Amino acid sequence: MKTRGINHLALVTNDMEKTVRFYRDVMGFPLVAAIGNRPGGLRARHYFFETGPNSTIAFFEWEGAEDFHKPAGLEASGRIQFDHVSFDVETEDELLELQKRLDDAGQEVTTVVDHNFIHSIYFHDFSGIALEASVWITNPTGKAPDYSNKDIFGDPNPVPALQEEMDKARMVKSS
């Protein structure tokens, strides 16, 4: 198995609206997917911002999560927030190969989870760091967002910053 880098780095936010406005509007990272927020499914919003080819930074919106403030480049003190890092693999076969290698090594690993646009397995390293390996099924990076694709933009109640983008795209498409 050969990874192609980081598929997504998953962090935590308690305010997806502010997160979208910062990462999309200030950092210039295109919002390429928005899932979750579904009764009976993933309850937390999970939004992905493209940082480069095949690479994204993603956020789970966990209500009540505490903010943390760590000055860049300095040692951490107190709590910090990190969800998991996902390594990008090229094919579903490679994902299954890694799953078998982890299982053969006695590591706990999940079955393949179908997130519609990516398939993933979840596991931990020896010190408990949450890890994932993912393969793009429909790669949303490197192209204009397709807001009509409900597999990729499946949040039924998107934050206002995303709704604005969807409304703009709909107006452009209808004119």
pLDDT tens-digit series, residues 103-126: 998 888 999 999 999 999 998 876
pLDDT at 57 over 80: yes
Instruction: For residue 26, name the pLDDT band (cuts at 50, 70, 90).
Output: confident
Range 150-169 average pLDDT:
93
pLDDT at 11 over 70: yes
Phi first, then psi: what are they for 48, rounded to 5°? Answer: -120, 135
The DSSP call for residue 23 is: I
Which residue is it, tokens 């934050």? 159
Two structure tokens written together for 60 = 């789970």
Q: What is the β-pairing status of strands 118-124 and 130-136?
A: antiparallel
Which residue is it, tokens 């490679």? 94
Q: What pTM value is reported for the model?
A: 0.71
Domains of the chain are 3-69+79-174 (3.10.180.10)
pLDDT at 87: 86
